[in-house]
Structure 1
Amino acid sequence: MTATTPRHTVWPVALLAVARRHALATLRTPAVVIMSVVQSVVFLLIFRYVFGGAIGTGSLDYVQFLAPNLLVVSMLFSVIGVGGAVAEDMGSGVTDRLKSLPIAPSAALAGRALAQLGLSAFTLVVTAGVALAVGFRPEAGVLGLLGVLGWCLLVALTFGWVFILAGVATRNVQAAQGIGFIVLPFTFVSGAFVPAESMPDWLRGFADNQPVTVLVQAARWLAHGDAGIAGAPHDGGYYVLVGLAWMAAILLVSAAVAVGLYRRR
């Protein structure tokens, strides 16, 4: 008899099966869910009530300035842990078991990304609820709020792949999580917590044009319209288009490299 190579399971079926497996594993570790939410809410409350009174944001109240920005930032922080989880899977034999099944490598990693997106979505909804409770009122109304939430999910999906790549590349939990620190300088040297216009000229050039500033400016415009980005060097449409371009480039490169490395390891 001639041995036949098993066909890959239909890609969407494999994607959902892997996502379900990872989602259930996350739910069995409630501390992961709790810490993801607590981290975002604590950041929101600290900046709202501790630093908010000392930061000038022009005609926009600080909570209106902060909330959409913080929702974007919360998505960046929510996906850092997926790198360590992927690295742990690769070191514990989970990845080897998945590779023994008729599942495309892209489906295996996309399933992990989808499960992480579910966790990020839960974090986002809770954080948005707290933001509304402490005074966030999108001038664009319900549609503006929905626009911000959708935008934030795109951010989570995009940067989730960055950290999946980190996990595949390092295969070490500590190293993958350490790479997450690259988020910090981009977050704090941006327009997320203070207007970029308040920074020195030599720093503002970087802050105005790096991805996090573009993403939070777009979120603020979606929430409040032109009032949300008063004083910014570009209009809202610019930030949305450039933000989409940044995310498309980051997502495509990260996913392609991650899947390529996964196949070889």
Structure 2
Amino acid sequence: MNALQDSATMLDRNIRHTLRSPDMMIMTVALPVIILLMFIYVFGGAMSMGRGAYVDYVVPGIILLCAGFGASTTAVALSTDLAEGIIDRFRAMAIARSAVLTGHVVESVLRNLITSGLVIGVAMLIGFRPTADPLRWLGVVGLLALFIFALSWLAAALGLLARNPEAANGFTFVFMFLPYVSSAFVPTESMPTWLHGFAENQPVTPVIETMRGLLMGTPIGDSALLAVLWCAGIALAGYLGAGALFRRRTRA
């Protein structure tokens, strides 16, 4: 119970920090929206499926791009806390050490679910027309939350591994890169053979295909199981790595 209360306190602290820095949330939303508009209005007309159909195709990938960019800020936030010495102050207090990490991760999930919702709203304004019923929407939210949760734990580990916030920001570049080499923006079949194999077997593709299937009614196949397994594996690796690195970085 004490650990839960401490985690809630850390969550409240991180939410307050976010509310006092609205520029972070603006950037988290603005970058995916700009990319969405660029792909739709610059590249969409050249797609064989047509601009209208391309909106429905590309939005799930943009949602994950938004989630990845937002989750990466967890690494910078943790690295900043270490650099500024606030973690040392927490160590002198009677609080659970795990609460520091849990507070950052849960805040990341809540913040990025909100920003992803805003991106979906903008997408609807420019023509996105999902066919999902309430149950499928619940599945979309659940999968998105799991994806953000997994990336946030991985980002926490990378933030603790980095020696400064700048390095932490660089370490999370892969979060922005992976969606581009997946089925987010073009079918993987259109890629060169040597790239097609990687795009098909990396963690983002099954998550995107599952979300696309839930939102638009396209076939999901085994993508849902693969998506959950990838997210669970990334979350476990991030959790174990973050815990070990936190103990090492805060060792007396």
Q: Same fold (TM over 0.5)?
A: yes
Which whole-Å CA distance do the structure 1 matches of 2:226 and 2:96 have between them?
32
Letter in 1 for 2:240: A
Aligned to 1:175: 167
Post-superposition Cα deviations, 1:184-224, rounded to whole Å, max 9, x if no partner, equal 43221111111111112221111111111111111101112
Q: Does 1:262 align with 2:246?
A: yes
Deviates more, 1:67-76 or 1:138-147: 138-147
| Cα pair 2:132 2:214 within 8 Å, conserved | yes
Equivalence map 1:1-265=2 (5 Å): 10-57=2-49, 61-225=53-217, 228-229=218-219, 236-265=220-249
Structure 2: state its 5+ residue gaps. none
**Structure 1 residues 47 and 143: CA distance shift in structure 2, 3 A:** farther
Instruction: Determine the structure 2 residue equivalent to 1:232.
Output: none
Query: CA shift at 1:52, angstroms?
Result: 1.1
C-alpha distance in 2, partners of 1:217/1:67?
A: 11
Tell me by how many angstroms 1:107 deviates: 1.9
Compute the RMSD of aligned alpha carbons.
1.7
Question: Are the aligned partners of 2:109 and 2:149 in contact in 1 as well (CA < 8 Å)?
Answer: yes
What number of residue pairs does the alignment pair up?
Answer: 248
- What CA deviation, in whole Å up to 9, does each residue of 1:2-57 have, x standing for no partner? xxxxxxx7121111100100110111111111111111211111112111111234
* Residues 153 and 56 (structure 1), Cα distance of their counterparts in 2 relative to 1, 3 Å cut: farther
Residue type of the alignment partner of 2:53: D
> Please, which runs of 5 or more residues in structure 1 have no aligned partner?
1-8, 230-235
**Partner SS for 2:37:** helix
SS in 2 for 1:148: helix
Displaced runs of 4 or more, over 4 A: none
- How far apart, CA to CA, are the structure 2 residues paired with 1:189 and 1:255? 26
1:237 deviates by: 4.1
Q: Tell me the distance in 2 between the aligned counterparts of 1:134 and 1:145.
A: 20
Larger radius of gyration: 1
Deviation, 1:143, is 3.4
